[in-house]
Amino acid sequence: MNSTKALDFLAARNHGSDLHTRTCTMPADRATCGMNDVMIETVDLHRSYRIGRKSIEVLHGIDLKIHRGERVFLCGPSGAGKTTLLYTLAGLERPERGSVHIDGTDLYALGRREQARFRNQRIGYIFQNYHLLPELTALENVAVPGAIAGKDTMELAMKALERVGLGDRSDHLPAELSGGEQQRVAIARAIVNEPKVLFADEPTGNLDSKNSAEIMGILLDLATEHQVTLVVVTHDQNLAKAGDRTLIIKDGSIH
Ligand SMILES: Nc1ncnc2c1ncn2[C@@H]1O[C@H](COP(=O)(O)OP(=O)(O)O)[C@@H](O)[C@H]1O
Ligand SMILES: [Mg+2]
């Protein structure tokens, strides 16, 4: 994995910005590089689902603090609420109770439009099953979040694709790519708007061990190079060891 090849598109577009100027080498600089800053904070987070007449509470009042630049793995049995928690942290699913602050912003206090803009610009999300648009090429898929933000992003999208090693597949449709390649496209799409926080839901769940290691390497490198705060759901406790902290979610609570 090429750790030294920085996300040059991030740097080029961020002179003087947080992402660019705060870049540091982990772990030596970590203590002086914002580890005391809270990037994600939840207070008393509750989320339930209604099935028929029954309501099942999936998150039972989760209090969580994740620091800027921290790489956190979220583990737990199937059905424990990992995806629900990640959705709630990312602004994709409103909790019934409690709050989520991302970089000091109260996510669910924002209006619908502001929240969508905040997500688009600050949060990258890698879905469990890639969620690529099948009729768009790899490059076009990666360009979508930039287009939503009103940017001319084909060049940035190409750089993001190159960053994940897929520059030579830019005009392929998702159906013409392997699972590992589709996941790389999904990562490129998640980073194209230079997010401060990156969420990944079982990003290696459908991949063989070689591809899993490569994908995890890319995510960890991205976090390290640009102090992106990383939250990754995984079943694989071995992969989780590469992070700074592992959270276990069980019965709707963090252990
Ligand atoms: N949209 C939904 N409607 C009803 N129940 C749901 C919905 N999404 C998830 N659940 C239920 O919530 C629980 C937690 O789901 P999830 O967060 O997907 O778990 P995990 O990602 O840890 O496997 C499960 O029991 C699941 O069936
Ligand atoms: Mg899940």
- Is the C-beta atom of 47 inside 6 A of ligand 1? no
81 alpha carbon to ligand 1 midpoint, in Å? 6
> Atom 10 (ligand 1): residue with closest C-alpha?
49
Mean pLDDT, 10 residues at a time, the chain of 255 residues: 27 29 36 66 96 92 96 93 96 95 96 94 92 96 88 88 95 96 94 94 89 90 90 87 92 89
Domain 8-37+68-97+109-248 bears CATH identifier 3.40.50.300: yes
59 token code pair:
């998150």
Predicted pLDDT at 125: 96
Name the closest-CA residue to atom 7, ligand 1: 49
Q: Which residues surround ligand 2, an ion (CB under 5 A)?
A: 82-83
Cα pseudo-dihedral 5, 11, 13, 15, rounded to 10:
-160
The answer for residues whose C-beta is within 8 angstroms of residue 224's C-beta and 6 or more apart is 3, 25, 26, 71
